[in-house]
Each structure stands twice: as C-alpha cells, then as structure tokens.
Structure 1
Amino acid sequence: MTVLAVEHLAKSWGGVQAVAGVSFSLAAGEVLALIGPNGAGKSTCFNMLNGQVRPDSGRVLLAGRDITGMAPRHVFRLGVGRTFQITATFGAMSVRENVQVALLSQARGLGGLWRPMAGQKAAEAEALLDRVGMLEQAARPCGVLAYGDLKRVELAVALANTPRLLLMDEPTAGMAPAERIALMALTARLAKEGGIGVLFTEHDMDVVFAHADRIIVLDRGQLIAEGAPQEVRADPRVREVYLGTGATAGGH
C-alpha cells in the first residue's frame, strides 16, 4: 500500500528554485532516506509534506488523499507524525506526562478535562514508552535526560497519534554513534511492525546505508537518483555531487 505519493512538487524562494518537480512514493512499512548536499532542497521538500510550507505546484497524497497545503495540525490528525532535528520536550514535566500531552492533543483541546483525561491516558503513554525502551524512566523529568533518551521520548510522542506516515528530520543529530544505530534500528523495527511509512533526512551515511530500504537523492532541487542503497552508492552522479568519488560503503 502506498502511504505517501509526491507528484511534481515545486517551490521557489525569491526566484531560486528550491524544489523542482520532485516525485516519489513511500510504501507502508518502508524506510526511505532523503539525502543530498547542503542547499539541495531537502528541508523545503520535507516542510511541504506536513504543511509548514505551501508548494507552488504539485501534490502531496496521503494514502490517496490530497493533503497539499493543509495546515500541520490537520495533517497530524490525518496520521502524520514528525520528529525534529532539535528535540523539543517539556523539561519540567515527566517523560510520561510529555507523551500524555501528545495523546491528549487528539481530543482537540484540554480545558478542564486535563486531570481526568490525563489519568485515562497514563496506560497508553506507558505502552508507547515501553515500545521505545523508555518505560523505566517514565517518572523522570525530561529536563534531566540524556540526549539519546530525549530522542526516544520524541519518537514516542510522534507515535502518539498512531501515524501512517512518520517524518524524521535528522533523527540522529547530536547523538553518539552507538545511539544513532540503536535509534534507527528501533525505528525500522517499529515501521515494519506497525506498517508505518518512514521518511527521514540524515547526514550520517552510515545510518542511511545501514537502515534505509530505499534512498532518494536531491541536488539543487532536483531528484537525481532513487533506488536501493547499493544502487545509489554506485550511482556516478551521486558520488560526484554528494558522496565523493572515493566514498566507501559507509563513507561520508
């Protein structure tokens, strides 16, 4: 099943073509990496998918439904989760409470229902934390967590709306090498188990080539390559503009 279909997406900023007619698709349970050099258009493309930026032309389809230009809050409610390069949690609140807030957001307004509803959502929050390996730290304030653990909390928050599509913007940025591999291995497993399509951007090529089912490559707003990791690694144009002519299997 196709979770995400991007058709001829384009966006210009002040006469500069940031994204130029990009098309690709993502299947349920698939992990797709979006890579490219700085200025390639990755961030603009990413932000058009969840409504932060409205495209000049083209379409974004979520499970066949046109969501082009919808506000991020509406895209979220249709089943799109997102994590960001820099984590953003409520530091004074516990790990459990941070996930509860995400669960409660689906109720379209907390009002005076915060306390009773929070109690009802505690079990759901703990189930999500168990899935990402953070249940033992559920009562700890997010402000005292190690950065790698914060990334796991952020993943639990992104999973709170049971997404069909998960967008991850440089999910391993700032993490130690072992933590990077562990987080992406966990994400890939959850994607396969839940049938979640995952699209992620990443600068660490070890992470990309180890965990992506497919890779798409942007350069100057254009899609220059798409395929399995070994195909993309061997592509002469990709090696020229991004990986470097001397790139090895895990090279940067």
Structure 2
Amino acid sequence: MNVSTPVLEISALTKHYGGVRALDGVSFAIAPGELLALIGPNGAGKSTCFNIVNGQLRPDAGEVRLKGRDITGLAPRRIARLGVGRTFQVASVFGSMTVRENVQMALIAARGQVFRLWAPAHRMAREEALALLQQTGMAAQAERPAATLAYGDVKRLELSMALAGDPGLLLMDEPTAGMSGEERQAMIALVRSLTRARDLAVLFTEHAMDVVFGHADRVVVLARGRLIANGSVEEVRNDPAVRAAYLGGVTPAASEAP
C-alpha cells in the first residue's frame, strides 16, 4: 500500500441542506491497494460524501481529487470514465440478460461503444467479460439469466460490472447488505483480494461491524457531518468519541452490527 500517492483526496468537503450540515469540513485520503471503511450512524453524511465523490451532488465547499486531478462537481459519467466504479446497496442488473451479457454491456458502455449499433453486441467484449467473471467467481454461471441468481451472486455480478471500466477507485455502498454471515465474509474477502491484485482503492460503507473490523485496512467515522475518527480498526474501536457517538458508549466486539 503506497500511502504517498493517494488515489482519492477529499479536502474540507462541506454540504448544507437548508440549516443542516450534512458534511462539515470532512477531509481524508485513500491509497492504492487500500480497503477503507466509511462508517457512522444514520444521518452521519456517508451517502452525501459518496454522492459528491461520484458526481451526483455538488459540494458547497471543499475539493475532491482523483490521482491529483480536481474532479469536484464533474458529471457522474465523466467521473466514471476517469476511473471511478460504484456498486449500490440494492444491486441492479438486467434480469432478462445472461450474467455474461450484463458484463458485456458494462464493458461496451465503459468503452463508449453503446451507439455502435452495426456491431453485434453479443460478440463484443465476450472474452473480457468471461475474464472478469472468472475473477469474481461467477464464470460457471456466465450463461444463466441474471434473474435466476441468488442475491449474493447478484452482488458478485454487480461487482463484475463495476470493474468493467478498470477503475482505480471503487465506491461500494453496503456491499454485504442482505447477506448471511457466511455470504458477507465471502464477499468482503473477494473484494479484499481484488483490492490487492488490482492495486485498487476501495471506499465502502457498511453497517455490519464484523465486516468492517475483520477486513478494513483503515476506518473513517462520521457523526453529524463531521469526521470524528480516522485510523486503524483498533484505534477506532477504542476511540471514546466513536463509542459515544456511534457505538452506544461501549467498545464493540468484532461480531456486533449496530
């Protein structure tokens, strides 16, 4: 992990909704190969932060830099083309298409080939799609309709699609939501493996503390729009401000999920 060259730098990010400060001067960075958890209670500002990085919201103040480039306020599609992928809390795939076809469409879109209608889509990026599915453990289900997948496999498919643009930064909104304990561990272990193999920076939100404390390299904690902690798992678990604001005043066990 090379902490001297951040993939993402957030500086003094601020966003108001009327008199409410959803983000209040938040700053942190993430390095290549780092799995960074962004946690906090409901209303802490996590979604606002994600949506600003992704370009869906404009900040009132502050700056977002991707590999040194200012991307503050750029459109989501442009940010994606610069190397930012995203998965969502509720996974969305094309149920009528096969697993492979979903990834092919993501690859075609990432390359800006959507309007090349004269080229049969089913032939485009086929091998690349299969290679991505191999990386996420979905190759054996490549020809299954996406609508028939179990939920955990839908999440893996969505991850495959998010990787289609070969991002340097991946934003994951509760990647293990709706999964059993065993599925959660398998999913986050896969993400961790991909993070290392691709030298990928991953910023993720998560409510399952077994996932956060068991796998994150570092944890950033927001409360009422402000950053109250930024450190290792152990530093955050033992931080009095975190316990008071987020974890009910007690040091959580790794299996606890507030």
Query: When the two structures are superposed, what TM-score results if normalisation uses the length of structure 2?
Result: 0.95
Paired with 1:63 and 1:122, the residues of 2 have a C-alpha distance of: 30
2:78 alignment counterpart: 74
Q: Please name the residue that 2:26 is paired with.
A: 22
Among 42, 46, 54, the residue aligned to 1:42: 46
1:1-252 alignment runs, 5 A limit:
1-113=5-117, 115-250=119-254, 251-252=256-257
Kindly indicate whether the alpha-carbon contact (under 8 Å) linking 1:104 and 1:118 is maintained by their aligned counterparts in 2.
Answer: no
Q: Does the CA-based 8 Å contact 1:18-1:41 persist in structure 2?
A: yes
SS in 2 for 1:238: helix
Q: Write the letter of the residue equivalent to 1:228.
A: S
In the TM superposition, what is the alpha-carbon distance from 1:117 to its structure 2 partner?
A: 4.9
Q: Is the 8 A contact 1:95 1:141 kept in 2?
A: yes
Whole-angstrom CA distance in 1 between matches of 2:249 and 2:61: 35
User: Could you tell me how far 1:243 is from its partner in structure 2?
Assistant: 1.5
Q: Which runs of 4+ in 1 moved over 6 A?
A: none
Cα deviation for residue 108 of structure 1 reads 2.1
Structure 1 runs not aligned, ≥5 long: none
Letter in 2 for 1:76: A
For residues 59-91 of structure 1, the C-alpha deviation after alignment (integer angstroms, 9 at most, x for no partner) is 000000000011000000000000000010000
110-119 or 39-48: which moved more? Answer: 110-119
Deviation per CA, 1:99-146: give whole Å up to 9, x if none.
Answer: 001000023242353643541300000000000000000000111100
Q: Give 1 or 2: higher helix fraction.
A: 1
SS in 2 for 1:225: strand
Aligned residues: 252
- Give the superposition deviation at 1:15: 1.7
- Residue identity in the other structure for 1:38: N
- CA change 1:130–1:236 in 2 (3 A) is same
Alpha-carbon contact 1:10-1:20 (below 8 Å) kept: yes
What is the root-mean-square deviation of aligned Cα atoms in Å?
A: 1.1
Three-state SS of the structure 2 residue aligned to 1:210 is helix
Once the two structures are aligned, what percentage of the paired residues are identical? 58
Q: Quote the Cα distance in structure 2 between the aligned partners of 1:146 and 1:220.
A: 36
- Secondary structure in 2 matching 1:113: coil
